[in-house]
Structure 1
Amino acid sequence: MHVAYSTSKGGVILMAKSLADALGPDGIPVNAVCPCTIETPLLRSTPDIAQAADGFRQRTPPRRPGQPSESGDAVAYLGSDLSRYVTGTALVVDGGLTSVIRHLLKTCASRTDRPHLPRRNPMNENNPSEAAKAIVRRNTEEVQGGGDFALFDELFADDFLDHTPQPGRSADKEGARRLYQVLREAFPDFHAVIHWQSADGDLVTTYKTYHGTHKGEFFGIAPTGKQISFETVDAMRVRDGKITEHWGVANLFSLMQQLGALPAAV
């Protein structure tokens, strides 16, 4: 919740700055007002909010919350001719709280008696789901899309099992390899656009759209030169850095329609 809240606040400030830059040549100023704790009925409506507000109040130099009229005065100033040369700014109306917090942070940063703990870097921490998603993405982009079959051997486990093999293909690693090769022979520019990925532990689900140009025989259909695309949702299990299982559903009906092998939908 705090991430979304803070992100929305930062987004409003950046939006104001961008609009100020875009509208400045037309003489239109754009600014943002950043109030802190303002005394309103909402502030006292929930005990948790009221307690937090009291904590903020104790940290501001005036030792009191702001009043609605004080925020309103700031807005009135920015809307008046007095601020005609003020644009692209974020006017902070917080009773000095921001300055106090900055001072506290600088003081804490300069202390020498703090225990030296290792700094956490979430990007470097062991995250099985993110690692699994990266492996599946490499398969989609570099093997299927780039034809790197040396990487295929590296990414797929020797005991790989496809739970939904295509007709005429075996459910093992060799069957998957041959399917990828057939697709690249039929569509030399075969590639996918990944719309989203979701991971539950070592199981990665991907929704993507494949694209390509029909320049080779495909399921007995002679090359047509047509641009094709079809959607796929698949799930891959990744264990010990290897893809071990696959389940997939592809819109091959649409593909065959595009190639003229089936009548187009009415």
Structure 2
Amino acid sequence: MTTTRDQAVWNRLHDATNSGDAELIAKTIDEVVDPDLIFHAPVPTGAAGAQALKHVWATLLRAFPDIHVTVDDVISEGDKVVCRNTVTGTHQGEYLGLPPTGRSVTYNEIFILRFADGRIAEIWGVVDLATQLRQLGLLRMP
């Protein structure tokens, strides 16, 4: 039963992030993410907990206003939900110090979310940042 509930919570957050609405994303994070979230992913901010996740989404929306996350796979077991995603967007705002390039990006990510009491309590994330940076012209391959 909790696996179904946790997956529904994940789906709610995913739907909010694909809305492109920063206020809806922040509100949904407040509702479904533990304020003391443990975030095991590189977050370029001094924020922690749910505030770090809000900062990540605010940054992504400024840089890629048309960002879209397609869920390729979801696996739920016990208190965890694992999702493999494909992310697309157009670089239309400052990102990592790079002014807008108008370039499109497509990259992959995998997240593991641990739930406690119906809320996301912990996140591990692996984002293919090298592909994203290469597509933006910030990283060159030999």
- TM norm. shorter chain > 0.5: yes
2:14 aligns with: 140
- Correspondences of 1:5-84 after superposition (within 5 Å): none
Q: State the 1:168 CA deviation.
A: 3.4
Q: Distance in 2 between matches of 1:137 and 1:206?
A: 10
1:247 aligns with: 124
Whether the 8 Å contact between 1:163 and 1:171 is mirrored in structure 2 is: no
Q: State the 1:229 CA deviation.
A: 1.2
Q: Distance in 2 between matches of 1:208 and 1:131?
A: 20
Q: Distance in 2 between matches of 1:169 and 1:197?
A: 30
Q: Aligned pair 1:159/2:40, yes or no?
A: no
Q: State the 1:172 CA deviation.
A: 1.5
User: Larger % of strand: which?
Assistant: 2
Q: Aligned pair 1:214/2:91, yes or no?
A: yes
Q: Aligned pair 1:205/2:79, yes or no?
A: no
Q: Distance in 1 between matches of 2:86 and 2:96?
A: 20
Counterpart AA for 2:115:
V
1:237 aligns with: 114
Whether the 8 Å contact between 2:34 and 2:49 is mirrored in structure 1 is: no
Aligned residues: 138
Counterpart AA for 1:206:
C
Match of 1:179 among 32, 41, 56: 56
Counterpart AA for 1:172:
G
Task: Name the SS of the counterpart of 1:189 in structure 2.
Answer: coil
Q: Distance in 2 between matches of 1:249 and 1:154?
A: 24
Q: Structure 2 vs 1, CA of residues 138 and 158 (structure 1 numbering), >3 Å: closer, same or farther?
A: same
Q: Distance in 2 between matches of 1:184 and 1:212?
A: 9
Task: Name the SS of the counterpart of 2:55 in structure 1.
Answer: helix
Task: Name the SS of the counterpart of 1:215 in structure 2.
Answer: coil
* Identity level (%): 30
Whether the 8 Å contact between 1:213 and 1:227 is mirrored in structure 2 is: yes
In structure 1, runs of 5+ residues without a counterpart are 1-126
Q: Rg larger in 1 or in 2?
A: 1
Counterpart AA for 1:230:
Y
Q: State the 1:169 CA deviation.
A: 4.6
Q: Structure 2 vs 1, CA of residues 257 and 166 (structure 1 numbering), >3 Å: closer, same or farther?
A: same
The two structures have a TM-score, normalised by structure 2, of 0.90
Counterpart AA for 2:57:
Y
Q: Distance in 2 between matches of 1:249 and 1:166?
A: 12
User: Larger % of helix: which?
Assistant: 1
